[in-house]
Amino acid sequence: MALTQQQIQQVETVLRNSLRNKFQSYNPEPASMPFHTRLLGKDRMALFSFIHSLNTNFGTSIFEPVALALASTTFKEAKTQATAGTQISEAAQRVIQDIMDDLTAANSQPNKVNEIEAIRKVAQAGNMKTVKPTKVDIWLQSNDNQFYLFDIKTAKPNKGGFKEFKRTLLEWTACILADNPKAKINTLIAIPYNPYEPKPYSRWTMAGMLDLQNELKVADEFWDFLGGQGTYKQLLDTFEKVGVELRPEIDNYFAKYNKKK
């Protein structure tokens, strides 16, 4: 299913606004790098600093609003920076800790279906504790009333971080089920692109902690899930189109740094 013209226009608008807003608010780092500056020029150093700054919030300023634009027309409900809930039962917390302990000690393999059902059984059992879980980057409800909660990560997340990623996914599950124990819930990690292309994404580093089939979507898996088959390629084409369109603005913006003394 190809993206609609409305979706493409929404993505283009997100990209234009994101870059232009960044230009308006951006101030290069004041650090002095005299050798780099004299060798490469002030404009290239400003561009380097700009790209570094953009990378630090690419997820919230570009990936999240683009994902929302795509999902808004294909899902029943879509939102960003949402809250999974505020309550977790003490029994669910114990189940989550048991899951984490077994995975960390390699006593079991990740199995999201079984983990969800284990949490579901105790989601409303015993005392309820008020919690403040990590915000959900992309929160979706499908037309068949399944929930999909995504945590968007950088293309090369730190191997040691997967333990915390896993706990976040389990806590989201417990929060949703505390409110609605019959909910059809999916909590996943999304990695927007594959830095190893054309080679496959190196998933082995996550295999002991994440259920790769049910807790991870990389590149086209993620974007095609949001917008339909072929979305990833169309998205790249759209990014390129907007980049070509804004190139004169980008060049003019950084050219001014060479005029400064």
Q: What is the DSSP letter of 156?
A: S
pLDDT tens, residue by residue, 1-53: 578 898 999 999 999 998 898 888 877 665 677 888 888 888 888 888 888 77
Token output for 258: 């060479």
Give the pLDDT score at 31: 63
pLDDT tens, residue by residue, 195-236: 888 888 877 778 789 999 999 999 999 999 999 999 999 999
Comparing C-alpha atoms, which of 195, 211, 1, 13 is closest to residue 99? 211
Categorize the per-residue pLDDT at 261 as very low, low, confident or very high, splitting at 50, 70 and 90: very low
- Domains present along the chain, CATH in parentheses: 1-72+229-261 (no CATH), 75-227 (3.40.1560)
**Rounded CA gap, 183 and 148, in Å?**
11
Give the pLDDT score at 29: 61
Write down the pTM of the prediction.
0.89
Comparing C-alpha atoms, which of 55, 35, 36 is closest to residue 46? 36
- The one-letter amino acid at 259: K
pLDDT tens, residue by residue, 45-92: 888 888 877 887 788 889 999 999 999 989 999 999 999 999 999 999
| Average confidence score pLDDT of the chain | 90
Give the pLDDT score at 161: 82
Q: Are 57 and 144 in contact (CB under 8 A)?
A: no
